[in-house]
Chain A
């Protein structure tokens, strides 16, 4: 009995002492891939914060991460810092789950926000001016093109980037050589309708939340897509299928307008030995990329908000961290100041010595802010469906767009 009591007492003493010495643990949630990235750049943060321990909570794929996070937010059990994917930020912007970072003690006001890509800042802004998440990475839309194919057809990249009409004219020249300019006419439309969005307007909705999908911008986009399809300029191959990869590899498709992350797919999967075959240019008429990327936010339930804010700033404001993450993953920084880091001036051997990252940077600076709306995914689905009917079943464009508008109104006015 005496030994057990003695043992128990010493154990309790030991535990209480060790408790006093354990560091404060900061938790950060991220999806698979990003969790390893964050883990790899943590040492720099821990050096300046020796009293902190950071635990990266990851493992779930991007698709499963957000529903699981939502559950934790509802029950108040979320981590101190959470990653948020672009499409999901809008849904939280007007709620109460996250701290308003524009207020004290964070003070991430207008001057702070200026260092980030405008479109990403707009996504994280709620209607009452609250700013709930700091942009971390933002893939700009760029155009990847096959140099050799373009040269043979006598088309220059400048002709492609200048205007959509120029893009289609170039497409006809390529068709004469038996090459498609794009895989899907639908992609032409979905890129074209993000061009020239006036400030204060969203892609599918205006500032009052009314859908504007029957306006001139959409009519033009649909018309361009129809012209592409009618002239036979698109290969009609479904995206991300084996044939799709093959078409790029064999040079049967000349261009693709997509996020800059496609570079990794090109070099790793599609055309491993295709050095100098490819180049990067700006997309036609500087089309936007809206809604992608990643953000960091602080849940209101966090108990370590000050330290959480330090960690977020380390990840997003520190240009060296942003450059390091880009180096490992190709995730393009949302912080425009980071674009001055030397890594972005490097020439790329794969792209024939072109300084592609400067092109990405230019595209990123061109991204203007489109007003976000929580029904974005719904509108995208409905408009996409009408576009398919126009392209595949020859539906009249004006009818399709007014039907899209009616369907969207019906669902969003409930």
Chain B
């Protein structure tokens, strides 16, 4: 016997349900209000601004539509922009060198430390939570040409017999010489983010089941081989994450270069990154439209690199992560 289809009658919600739903929206609204005002609106406004010619000090009424002129100028007529792009990419490569160091260190902590594991990880993590400006200011003193710690240390090494010749006798102008500025900045960035990457990798490594290692040991694998054939493949999803974060972070690098060499990148703009150049264009030269266009060009660049990263690591990461 077929049954008559059940008829659902639309009923108005009871006031208690309505009140509950309203309360839910109210509870999540603070975040959304903040997001709308401080994240979404500025993003949309900067996109709008990138097509205008505007000096902030002249007032909102002075905005003139200029089409793609800001983009055209930045991409084709501005030598400093491409210098900044080159610097940022070079710093990005230095940043990627962080990954192998972090991996090896995390594995060493995993294998070598049991009792002190948390303490050592926390110590490595400390630079990450220290104020960037404070860090960069201290490093300005460390990198000082005549009175800096680094040069003093190198002088001492220079005095060693046999290997002394490998080291310069102090007096290196780390932040002044265009050849040494980028390694100097990269060192500060590396020091800062090493702990963060170690923590991420270590947490993933600790989740790798011990049986895989046991099986490898039975097959006669040394520690190094265990790292290569057990740990690394299992780490692919985490590596995908850390490389993505590194790329995005390095492309937007601002704090360290700004405090170490200033908004104009020092000598020959050797320390000028896209982010610091953007800041200088907006607030020193007063050219808000071009700065906004630069920001969106940077976004396009980061998007392209992230997509590339996704292609390389993404598929593998997803496959292994299951």
A interface residues (Cβ-Cβ under 8 A, vs B): 67, 70, 73-74, 88, 91-92, 94-97, 237-238, 241-243, 246, 374-375, 377-378, 381, 385, 388-389, 392, 407, 410-411, 414
Q: B24 interface residue, CB < 8 Å from A?
A: no
A407–B78 Cα gap in the complex (Å)?
9
CB-defined A-B contacts under 8 Å, sample of 27: A67-B283, A91-B57, A94-B58, A96-B61, A97-B59, A237-B146, A238-B145, A238-B173, A238-B176, A241-B145, A246-B146, A374-B55, A374-B286, A377-B284, A377-B285, A377-B286, A381-B284, A385-B264, A385-B269, A388-B267, A389-B268, A392-B267, A392-B268, A410-B77, A411-B285, A414-B53, A414-B66
Residues of A within 8 A of B144 (CB): 241-243
Indicate if B62 sits at the interface (CB-CB under 8 A): yes
Check if B69 sits within 8 Å of A88, measured CB to CB.
no
Within 268-322 of B, Cβ neighbours of A (below 8 Å) are at 268-269, 280, 283-286
Q: How far does the alpha carbon of A195 sit from the alpha carbon of B269 in the complex, in Å?
A: 28
A67 and B57 alpha carbons, distance in the complex (Å)? 9
B118 at the interface (CB under 8 A from A): no
Partner of A243, one of B145, B280, B285: B145
Q: Assuming A238-B176, A242-B147, A243-B144, is B58 touching A95 (CB within 8 A)? A: yes
A interface SS class: helix
- Asked if B57 contacts A70 (CB within 8 A), the reply is yes
Chain B 73-116: CB-based contact to A (< 8 A → 1; otherwise 0): 10001010000000000000000000000000000000000000
A377 to B267, CA, bound (A): 17
Contact partner of B56 (CB less than 8 A), chosen from A70, A377, A411, is A70
> Which residues does chain B contribute within 8 Å of A242, judged by CB atoms?
141, 144, 147
Task: Flag if B147 contacts A95 (CB, 8 Å).
Answer: no
Q: Does B166 contact A (CB under 8 A)?
A: no
Known: A378-B285, A385-B264. A91 touches B55 (CB 8 A): yes
Residue B60 interfacial (CB < 8 Å): yes
Instruction: Check B60–A74 contact: CB distance below 8 A.
Output: yes
A74 to B60, CA, bound (A): 7
Within 8 A of A (CB), among B162-197: 173, 175-176
Cα-based distance from A159 to B194 in the complex (angstroms):
57
Contact B59 A88 (CB under 8 A): no
How many B residues touch the partner, as a band?
20 to 34
**B146 contacts A243, C-beta separation under 8 Å:** yes
Chain B contact residues, CB within 8 Å of chain A: 53, 55-62, 66, 69, 73, 77, 79, 140-141, 144-147, 173, 175-176, 264, 267-269, 280, 283-286
In the complex, what residues of B have CB within 8 A of residue A381's CB? 264, 280, 284-285
Please tell me if the beta carbons of A74 and B267 are within 8 angstroms of each other in the complex.
no
Chain B residues with CB under 8 A of A237: 145-146
Q: B283 near A74 (CB under 8 angstroms)?
A: no
Residue of A nearest to B79 (CB): A407
Q: Which of A70, A88, A246, A411 has the most CB of B within 10 A?
A: A411
A93 (CB) vs chain B CBs: closest residue: B57
Hey, which chain B residues are within 8 Å of A91, CB to CB? Answer: 55, 57-58, 286
In the complex, which of the residues B62, B173, B176, B285 contacts A95, with contact meaning CB atoms closer than 8 Å? B62
CB <8 Å contact, B59 and A74: yes
Nearest CB in chain A: distance from B172 CB, A? 13
CB closest residue in chain B, given A375: B285
Beyond A70-B57, A97-B57, 16 additional contacts (C-beta under 8 Å) are A74-B56, A94-B58, A95-B62, A238-B173, A238-B175, A242-B141, A243-B144, A243-B145, A243-B147, A374-B55, A377-B285, A378-B284, A381-B285, A392-B267, A414-B53, A414-B73
In the assembled complex, which residues on chain A have CB atoms less than 8 Å from the CB atom of B61?
A: 96
Q: For the complex, what is the distance from the CA of A389 to the CA of B268, rounded to whole Å?
A: 7
In the complex, chain A residues whose CB is within 8 Å of the CB of B57: 70, 88, 91-92, 95, 97, 374
Q: Which residue of B lies closest to A88 (CB)?
A: B57
Inside 8 A of A411's CB, which chain B residues have their CB?
285
Q: In this complex, what residue of A is CB-closest to B61?
A: A96
Chain A residues, Cβ within 8 Å of B141? 242
Closest to B267 in A: A388
Closest 10 A/B residue pairs (Cβ): A91-B57, A378-B285, A95-B58, A243-B146, A377-B284, A242-B147, A95-B59, A92-B57, A70-B56, A242-B144
- Quick one: closest B residue to A381, CB to CB? B264
Q: How far is the CA of A414 from the CA of B61 in the complex (A)?
A: 18
Q: Are B268 and A388 in contact (CB under 8 A)?
A: yes
A397 CB → nearest B CB, Å:
18
For the complex, give the distance between the alpha carbons of A377 and B269 in Å: 16
Report the Cα distance A95→B56, complex, angstroms.
10
